[in-house]
Chains A and B, each alone.
Chain A
């Protein structure tokens, strides 16, 4: 039997890896994937605490996370396609128009 600690550790790891991916990768799609990994970490965390408290609220929140992720993927990927059609590249450094 693995307690809460293990799950939290794993979800923290997932979150950290997702964050690193978001911060380092320059391809917009990979950045998006990284945020999804972060969401997985959050989801796992919610599930673990739901089990700890013996209530399903955490799982319901997990479902909402999935909803948000789906919405985000739909809109975000649409925008990415649009951006690619317009500029021919998904390199974030080429999209830095607001530099000082």
Chain B
């Protein structure tokens, strides 16, 4: 595949869902109606196929390059977009590297399954729900935006996609807009994301001010050279004179941590980390497919994607990285504890998503970027599966999603049960399932970085296993309880098919990251053992992308190596193997504990709840974070808003009233003349004529 074909395929990835969205949006409500899913399924399917083509091409190129060579990302310019000052063009350009194609494949594949699932989910008794075509148009628009975000070759396109997915998220959370809670949730998501995006935007401005460019290539190369102190290269890439280069190096190295923090701000908002995570649980007001696609599998991972993409910027400062790691670990633990007591199935999963995103941040923060992406990849499968499963349960239960109100659904919803069980196993890190591999990698790297981070990761893993199976046991075990007036039934084919496909993914996606040849599946934990070749397929693919991270850890590792010497190496080796058994054991213990609590001995949680009333209500009320925000942010803002409103109402409007009074007065005078009587006008004419004649004759 040559460059122009590649460009065509990349454009097609965007065009397919865009066309689907336009067709569904324009023709849906009038002509297609209940068949609106077809253009969207075809569009997203087309995007998936073209994404796989891109993936194949990149994979092919990767295997063709020599092991020690770095695969240069493919940069394609679709067209010159607009020129800013200094004659710099902002282009619609694509940046295709392994990270791009992995993201693209994940996004489009999951989207395809979700769209297929939605075909039945958005129907009640075989009749399309109100807004059916709107839903599919938005979904296709989301896929387009997400692909644009991932494919974009500069920060402008990144920001564009970033905001566009935010918009789609807003529209889809508020899909049931007549419901006040849905409208509020949509607003909340939008506003909270604004806070993060504000920082993100400032960060991009700062990049432009610093580098004068916004395309990845220039920015990353310049950063790399500045960090390496390569003045000549820097002046070459930025087009500055050699004498300016030293100053520029200083400027860039000074600013990179600031830029990283500002970009992190956007990532925190989009990926729902502390303290901006509050929108994500509320976002569950949207339809379940939306929760599965946007608020679990794809959009929320955009922050992680962005941080890995901007690895050069983030790794420039180890304190920033440490901050990211701590933030991720704290979010993971925090959200997991909240999930322990929630009763709404989708909310449990939402907090679980926040927790898992925390893992990804932790992964990035401990320089294990490829592990973070690996976790992103596996998480997309099993979390989408769990959300779609929850949607299936909700569909069967007539819209009820509270796990206290039903139970023992094993027999009623067999397929949903089996697939969700697989997903839960993957989420809780049961050995050999997807989550197990990816999560353990992150925990392992966290241990390497700092034991405390690792311990937090392990504790969170235990909590994850516990709350996941708490949900499963409550919903599917025990005696069969179904809410009154609900005729429970297994969902239709269109919904079960995606569940099954995703279940296979949840069970098997982890094996992409396992190196079978080198020391069995345990080999993945020791990537360095056999040099570059020992890396697993997944990590090998990402090698070129995460180079900044490996470079950074390599540098610090050297220093540590000098100090610790041989002993440190042995500890690391020991940790690598035992860690895995430990985490497997933790997951299993968590599951057994959950079974003990909620199946065999239900009095234990009762006893705990009555003993630790305070703690329970603290967790149950999500640490009162919403209330705290309400008191500290919302109320003061509303107060100042009403003050401003008062000023506007009385001062500004008064001034405007004064200004308008003049023409109104003139108009009043003029109105007197307009009597509507012909004779009045005639008299004016006669008078005017008389005056003119007198002037002409006597002047």
Are A and B genuine complex partners?
yes
Taking a contact as CB atoms under 8 Å apart, the answer to whether A96 and B677 are in contact is yes
Does B87 sit at the interface, judged by CB under 8 A? no
A19: shortest Cβ distance to chain B, in Å? 6
List, in ascending order, chain B residues with CB within 8 A of A100's CB.
670-676
CB-CB under 8 A from A23, the residues of chain B are 679, 682-683, 686
A98: chain B residues at CB < 8 Å are: 674, 676
B659 contacts the other chain (CB 8 A)? no
Nearest Cβ on chain B to A1's Cβ, whole angstroms = 28
B contact patch SS: helix
B665 at the A interface (CB under 8 A): no
Is A92 an interface residue when CB atoms closer than 8 A count as contact? yes
- On chain A, the residues within 8 Å of B682 by CB distance are 22-23
How many interface residues does A have (CB within 8 Å)? 13
Q: Is the pair A99, B678 in contact by a Cβ cutoff of 8 Å?
A: no
Q: Are B676 and A99 in contact (CB under 8 A)?
A: yes
Question: Which residue in A19, A22, A92 is a CB contact (below 8 Å) of B677?
Answer: A92
Residues on B with C-beta less than 8 A from A92 are: 677-679
The answer for the CA separation of A95 and B214 in the assembled complex, in Å, is 71
Instruction: Tell me which residues across on chain B come within 8 A of A31, comparing CB atoms.
Output: 679
Interface centre among B670, B672, B678, B686 (most CB of A within 10 A): B678
- Is B675 touching A99 in the complex (CB atoms < 8 A)? yes
Query: Residue of B at shortest CB range from A20?
Result: B686
Are A96 and B676 neighbours in the complex by a CB distance under 8 Å?
Answer: yes
With the chains together, A99 CA to B675 CA distance in Å?
4
Task: Specify which chain A residues have a CB less than 8 angstroms from the CB of B683 in the assembled complex.
Answer: 23
CB <8 Å contact, B679 and A22: yes
Nearest-Cβ distance from residue A27 to partner chain B, whole angstroms: 11
CB contacts (< 8 Å) of B671 on chain A: these are: 100
C-alpha gap A68/B431 in the complex (Å): 109
Flag if A97 contacts B679 (CB, 8 Å).
Answer: no
Residues on the A chain within 8 Å of B670, using CB: 100
> Cβ of A22: which chain B residues have Cβ within 8 Å of it?
679, 682
Q: Complex Cα distance A22/B675, Å?
A: 16
Q: Which of B670, B676, B682, B683 counts the most chain A CB atoms within 10 A?
A: B676
Q: Are B686 and A97 in contact (CB under 8 A)?
A: no
Residue of B whose beta carbon sits closest to that of A24: B679
| Cα separation A92 to B676 with both chains bound (whole Å) | 10
**Cα A69 to Cα B677 with chains together (Å):** 23
Instruction: Determine the chain B residues whose CB is within 8 A of the CB of A26 once the complex forms.
Output: 679
Q: How far is the CA of A99 from the CA of B631 in the complex (A)?
A: 58
Residue of B nearest to A26 (CB): B679
By a CB distance below 8 angstroms, the chain A residues around B676 are: 96-100
Complex contacts, B686 vs chain A, CB 8 Å: 19, 23
For chain B, residues 651 to 699, give those with C-beta under 8 angstroms from any C-beta of chain A.
Answer: 670-679, 682-683, 686
CB A69 to nearest CB in B, in angstroms, measures 18
Q: Which chain A residue lies CB-closest to B685?
A: A23
Q: A14-39: contact bitstring with B at CB < 8 Å (1 yes, 0 no)?
A: 00000100111010000100000000
Contact indicator A93/B674 (Cβ below 8 Å)? no
A97 vs B675: C-alpha distance when bound (angstroms): 9
| Closest-CB distance, B682 to chain A (whole angstroms) | 6
Q: Are A93 and B673 in contact (CB under 8 A)?
A: no
A17 CB to nearest B CB, Å: 13
The A-contacting residues of B in range 620-677, CB under 8 angstroms, are 670-677
Q: Is there contact, CB below 8 Å, between A99 and B674?
A: yes
Which of chain B's residues has its CB closest to A22's CB? B682
Contacts of B672 in A (CB 8 A): 100
Closest to A28 in B: B678
Select from chain A the residue with minimum beta-carbon distance to B683.
A23
**Chain A residues whose C-beta falls within 8 Å of the C-beta of B675 in the assembled complex:** 96, 99-100
Measured in the bound complex, the distance between the Cα atoms of B683 and A96 in whole Å is: 15
Distance A31 CA – B670 CA, assembled complex (angstroms): 26
Instruction: Tell me which residues across on chain B come within 8 A of A99, comparing CB atoms.
Output: 674-677
In the complex, which residues 52-93 of chain B have their Cβ closer than 8 Å to any Cβ of chain A?
Answer: none
A99 to B682, CA, bound (A): 15
A19→B678 CA distance, assembly (Å): 13
Q: Which residues of B contact A97 (CB under 8 A)?
A: 676
- Could you give 26 example pairs across A and B, Cβ below 8 Å? A19-B686, A22-B679, A22-B682, A23-B679, A23-B682, A23-B683, A24-B679, A31-B679, A92-B677, A92-B678, A93-B677, A96-B676, A96-B677, A98-B674, A98-B676, A99-B674, A99-B675, A99-B676, A99-B677, A100-B670, A100-B671, A100-B672, A100-B673, A100-B674, A100-B675, A100-B676
User: Which residues does B use to contact A, with CB under 8 Å?
Assistant: 670-679, 682-683, 686
**A22-B679, A23-B686, A99-B677 given; 14 more Cβ-contact pairs under 8 Å:** A19-B686, A23-B679, A23-B682, A23-B683, A24-B679, A96-B675, A96-B676, A97-B676, A98-B676, A99-B674, A99-B675, A99-B676, A100-B671, A100-B673
The 8 closest A-B pairs by CB, nearest first: A100-B674, A99-B676, A96-B676, A98-B676, A100-B671, A96-B677, A23-B683, A99-B675
